[in-house]
Structure 1
Amino acid sequence: MAGTAALERGQAGEGDKRRQILEGARQVFMASGFDGASMGEVAKAAGVSKGTLYVYFDSKEALFEALTIEAKSGLAEALFSLDEADPDVPAVLTRLGLSYLAMLSRPEHVSIIRMVIGACEKFPRFGQAFYEAGPACGTGRLKAYLDAQVSAGRLRAADTELAARHFLHLCQAGMLTRLLFNAGEAPGEAEIRHRVTEAVRVFFAGYGTTAR
């Protein structure tokens, strides 16, 4: 029992150290970008030695990939935690849309997307990992909810994966492009709510079983 407790404490300590390193890496990558960041700067920001850093991550590429995957997978799990048994589809989609746009428009999130885009030409796996951990995961979770609603007769959709993508794109409809290119300010609460209200209306015009 004592040995098991010691092992669990060791595992918890390793998890804390990993999170500490990832937080330091987040600060450095956000400030310097992927190309401008160095493992030495990450170690300093994280408050660990370079030797300790390399025990957890053997390269800057591995560290960046882990950071982006963890950031996106956590967001996808939190945002797209949908109750398939909830019959109030408009309310579910409205809540999702509001949270989705609030997350998408955060300056830090926009910066991460820019970094991944900038790095994935040289390291294609970054883009694939980011896509699978975030957009693909979120779309899959929304698809599962829509599948349940189609089965219950609340929606009609031959392709629920495409329907899920339609809804998310209806919500942001050019907003992300605007932010990525610094072509305008982040949306306020009123714009976000207007976008989501219209997205739900248009979505039901195409996928609803009755006119709304």
Structure 2
Amino acid sequence: MGDATTVVRTGRKFDQVLAGAREVFMTDGFEGASVDDIARAAGVSKATLYSYFPDKKLLFMEVARQECQRMADETVARIDPSAPVADVLTMAATEIISFLTSRFGVRIFRICAAESERFPELGRDFYESGPMRGRDRLAEYFRHAREEGALELDDVVLAAEQFSELCKTRLWPRAVFGLQSEFSREEIDCVAREAATTFLARYGTRSGV
């Protein structure tokens, strides 16, 4: 594939291409994924594949971008601004941890890390479409909670980054290092509750309890 940077996100076979690419990238990694295999998995011709994605990096990032955006949008949609902050944080932490420890989340992280030296833009683009997007959504909620007097903090972006790191406790290292591949709801819920509790111990107010 060439160096073009335009992605065509219309057309009836666009979703087919993404589904096929997702399957192949998850199995073979970024470098190991071939155009022929992606086209075959998607059930389209190589010409059709090229018409949507003239560059394999663009295809990989679109797969990652859509999955990360879906996770962020679903989490935001479930936020009830009138609910206690502890409940909102626990819910958000559960969603974040579930994604981080999922097969897709772990595989995408490994691919970006493995290819970051040869293709540094992969890491940058993944961060912007995934972690940074999630951080900004959390920061928006923290800003609202601060205005309501439920949180006491100055830097909402830093607080969002800290909360995300709390969600990586225990389970995420086990996932990315291959020590564990399946995680029970009880394990995820435990880390989520502790993330929310620890965060509120630092930034919570009496009115937010």
Paired positions, count: 201
For residues 130-149 of structure 1, the aligned pairs below 5 Å read 130-149=126-145
Pick which of 54-63 and 43-52 moved more.
54-63
Q: Which of these residues, 88, 99, 106, is aligned with residue 92 of structure 1?
A: 88
Shift of 1:89: 0.8
> Which residue in the other structure is 2:63 paired with?
67
> Which residue in the other structure is 1:115 paired with?
111
Asked if 2 retains the 8 angstrom alpha-carbon contact of 1:84 and 1:149, the reply is: no
Secondary structure at the counterpart of residue 167 of structure 2: helix
Q: Which of these residues, 176, 180, 184, is aligned with residue 184 of structure 1?
A: 180
> Which residue in the other structure is 2:16 paired with?
20
Compare the two structures and name the one with the higher helix fraction: 1
Pick which of 113-122 and 132-141 moved more.
113-122
**For residues 50 and 62 of structure 1, what CA distance do their matches in structure 2 show?**
15
Shift of 1:96: 1.1
Asked if 2 retains the 8 angstrom alpha-carbon contact of 1:82 and 1:142, the reply is: no
**For residues 53 and 75 of structure 2, what CA distance do their matches in structure 1 show?**
28
Letter in 2 for 1:65: M
Shift of 1:143: 0.7
Shift of 1:119: 1.9
Shift of 1:191: 1.4
Secondary structure at the counterpart of residue 11 of structure 2: helix
Q: Which of these residues, 77, 81, 86, is aligned with residue 77 of structure 2?
A: 81
TM-score, length basis structure 1: 0.86
Secondary structure at the counterpart of residue 80 of structure 1: helix
Letter in 2 for 1:96: A
Shift of 1:168: 2.0
**For residues 59 and 51 of structure 2, what CA distance do their matches in structure 1 show?**
11
Letter in 1 for 2:40: K
Shift of 1:84: 7.0
**For residues 157 and 57 of structure 2, what CA distance do their matches in structure 1 show?**
32
Q: Which of these residues, 159, 162, 171, is aligned with residue 158 of structure 2?
A: 162
**For residues 111 and 201 of structure 1, what CA distance do their matches in structure 2 show?**
29
Pick which of 86-95 and 73-82 moved more.
73-82
Identity across matched positions, percent? 36
- Could you say which structure has the greater relative contact order, defined with CA pairs below 8 angstroms and 6 or more residues apart? 2
Asked if 2 retains the 8 angstrom alpha-carbon contact of 1:76 and 1:133, the reply is: no
**For residues 71 and 126 of structure 1, what CA distance do their matches in structure 2 show?**
15
Q: 5+ unaligned residues in a row in structure 1: which ranges?
A: 1-10
CA deviation profile, 1:126-158 (whole Å, cap 9, x unmatched): 111111111111111111111111111111011
Report the aligned-residue RMSD.
2.1
Which contiguous aligned blocks of 4+ residues in structure 1 show a shift greater than 4 angstroms?
A: none
Q: Could you say which structure has the larger radius of gyration? A: 1
